[in-house]
Amino acid sequence: MNQQLDFIFSRRSVRKYENREVPDHMLQDLLEAAMAAPSAVAKDPWHFIVVKARKTMDNMADVLPHGQMLRQATAAMVVCGDITRAHTEHESYMLQDLSAAVENILLAANALGLGTCWLGVHPRPERMEGIKRLFNLPDSIIPMCGIAIGWPKDPPAARTRFSPDKVHWEKW
C-alpha cells in the first residue's frame, strides 16, 4: 500500500467511540469537504443535517437497525438530496452526487483523526420514512444515509481490499 494514500487505506467503519465531543469547527471542515465533491452539471443537490443532540442520535438509532453505534457517537449527519436540484431531476444523478460527498466526509474525518460509519437509509422505504418523520423533511428532500461520527475507541488498522481479478485492462 502506498503510504501517501494511508488516509484512504486507514479509513474504516468505526462502531465504538470515546465519550468525547466533536468540535463544531471539525464538523464545519467535514461539511466543506463534502461540498467540494463533484456534482453532475454542478447542481449540488445535497443537504446535510448535523446532529449533536444525544436524544436525536438515539432516535436515529431506533430508525436504523444497523445504526446502534449512534448511541455512542458524539455527532452524526444525515445526508439528503433535493430531487428538484438533481441533474434532470434523475434520482441516479442525485445519488451519485451524494455518494461523492459522503466519501469526502469519510476521508476528511479519517484525516482529522475522527471515526465514521456510513449508515444506509435509501432505498429502504421504512428507513426513509422514519428519517423523514424524525427530521420533518420536505417532500422534495430524500434522505440517502446517516453518518455516525466520533473519536474512535480502537482505530482499526489500515488495509486494502485490492483484488487483481476485479481489474480489466483494455478489455473484459
pLDDT at residue 50, rounded to an integer:
99
> How would DSSP label each residue in 16-27?
-B-S-PPPHHHH
On whether residue 88 sits in a domain, the answer given is: yes
Q: Could you give the CA distance from residue 95 to residue 46 in angstroms, rounded to a whole number?
A: 9
Closest CA to 119 of 46, 45, 64: 64
On whether residue 114 sits in a domain, the answer given is: no
**Residue 55 sits in a domain of what CATH number?**
3.40.109.10
On whether residue 72 sits in a domain, the answer given is: yes
On whether residue 162 sits in a domain, the answer given is: no
**Which of 8-12, 53-57, 98-102, 155-159 shows the lowest mean pLDDT across its residues?**
155-159
Q: Could you give the CA distance from residue 35 to residue 38 in angstroms, rounded to a whole number?
A: 8
Give the range of the structural domain holding residue 99, as residue numbers without chain letter: 10-109+120-153
84: number of CA atoms within 13 Å, CB side? Answer: 4
Q: Note whether 97 and 122 are within 8 A (CB).
A: no
Count how many domains the chain has: 1
pLDDT at residue 155, rounded to an integer:
86
Beta bridge partners of 17: 152
On whether residue 159 sits in a domain, the answer given is: no
On whether residue 145 sits in a domain, the answer given is: yes
Q: Is the pTM of this model over 0.95?
A: yes
- The predicted model gives 23-41 an average pLDDT of 98
